[in-house]
Structure 1
Amino acid sequence: MTEALKAELKALIIECLDLEDISVEDIDSDEPLFVEGLGLDSIDALELGLAIKKKYNVSIDANAQDTKRHFASVSNLAAFISAAG
């Protein structure tokens, strides 16, 4: 799991969710993406899931138990994408 992938994911989050006031450096890899942390919601999760699927060709099952864990932080997403790729 590389720092480059984490930075790429942060940029993807900012771009696909139009987070204009946030830079890659502002996002902590281990901070929660939902509720506290970045404060994303379920609509953001759907958009982010689609962007990840498109960019990394990784399928994310919205109803799977593990999905919430994968989306918990940038680090978790990077680990999931690395393992799936």
Structure 2
Amino acid sequence: MKALEQEIKELILSSLSLEDLGAADIDTDAPLFIEGLGLDSIDALELGLALQKRYGVTMNGDKEEMRARFASVAALAAFVASHRNSEASA
């Protein structure tokens, strides 16, 4: 899971052009929005598209599901990992 978390941190940095930060600057468990990294709704859209392209995940669900998935790098990694596992078992 650590490797996937690292990949997602790098994806955040590249897709959102956060040139002043490095992957080590992003706390895996810190909130991505408002507090923590301070991302906004436009960033969420861009990150969602990047995740879809890279991992083939679909960002369907209600507002609360989406909020939970994007809560932190750890939450995103768990979502991507569960998507991978469900594809592997299909």
1: CA distance between counterparts of 2:64 and 2:21?
A: 29
Q: Which 5+ residue runs of structure 2 have no aligned equivalent?
A: 85-90
How much does 1:13 deviate?
0.1
Q: Deviations over 1:25-81 (max 9, x none)?
A: 000000000000000000000000000000000000264431100000000000000
Equivalent residue of 2:82, what SS?
helix
**Displaced runs of 4 or more, over 4 A:** none
Identical pairs, percent: 52
- Number of corresponding residues: 84
- Distance across 2 between alignment mates of 1:20 and 1:36: 19
The structure whose residues are more often helix, as a share, is 2
Partner of 2:55: 56
Q: Aligned Cα RMSD in Å?
A: 1.0
Q: Which moved more, 1:53-62 or 1:2-11?
A: 53-62
TM-score between the two structures when normalised by the length of structure 2: 0.90
Unaligned runs of 5+ in 1: none
* Corresponding residue for residue 77 of structure 2: 78
